[in-house]
Amino acid sequence: MKVFDGDGFLTKIALYHLTDNPKDHTEVEAAIRFGFIDAPELEQRGGCEAREFLTALIGGRKVWIVILRKMDTGKSVDRYGRVVAVPYLGDRYLFSNRSLYLTRNIEIEMLLNGWAWVLERYGPDEIYFEALEVAQRNKRGIWAWGNNVHPWTFKGQTRKKSKTKCPAQGCAGSLVKRNGKLGAFYGCSSYPNCRYARSI
């Protein structure tokens, strides 16, 4: 599993076949995009922290996903080919020789800890707004700072500033400044579909 940012990760999905053998399945690699939240972009204040929090939450663990259908396209993938889903962590506990499974909605965890906004236009459950309000009231994560900009506003501002088209063949993205482990670099706005990058 590889976490891209605070609302997306790359993982392997097990597709089970309709047979009597529970081990009869195929694994496919897929990029997952959260359905009802939007975390700060990596170039924004709090973006790297959101990614680190998500990595600590799901890194190396089995994650269950509920695949959604996008309202605007009618498909389960977005324009970048990412599967739109709500991910869950499932923990198994033993009580009096009986198993009990408890699930945690990872999107709610991101909101409660102050690392995401709610995407209202997709009609999430009321609990999403309650989790956001708890984080804002307690100044958790990005809410410890003032003047936060929505990621979708930030992306719009970045696109206006960036006029350099990505040179990768067949890519319609543009180059944006990003920060990585080795410092700043230019990467494609269509990442993870396009992995073009160059040093500054």
Q: What is the arithmetic mean of pLDDT over 13-34?
A: 78
Question: Would you state the pLDDT for residue 155?
Answer: 80
Work out the burial of residue 106: count CB atoms within 10 Å of its CB; fewer than 13 is exposed, 13-18 middle, 19 or more buried. buried
Express each pLDDT in 60-75 by its tens digit.
888 989 999 876 667 8
What's the fold here for domain 2-161?
A: OB fold (Dihydrolipoamide Acetyltransferase, E2P) (2.40.50)
Q: Which of 78, 62, 81, 71 is nearest to 124 (CA)?
A: 71
Could you tell me where the DSSP H helices lie in 2-74?
47-58
Express each pLDDT in 88-127 by its tens digit.
998 776 667 777 677 899 999 999 999 999 999 889 999 9
User: What whole-number distance in Å separates Cα of residue 93 and Cα of residue 49?
Assistant: 30
Mean pLDDT of all residues belonging to the chain: 87
The model's pTM: 0.73
Percentage of the residues of the chain whose pLDDT score is greater than 70? 88
- Which residues does residue 74 pair with via DSSP β-bridges, in sequence order? none
Residue extent(s) of CATH 2.40.50.90 domains in the chain: 2-161
Question: Would you state the pLDDT for residue 142?
Answer: 97
Which residue in the block uniquely carries the two structure tokens 């409660």? 112
User: What whole-number distance in Å separates Cα of residue 178 and Cα of residue 80?
Assistant: 18
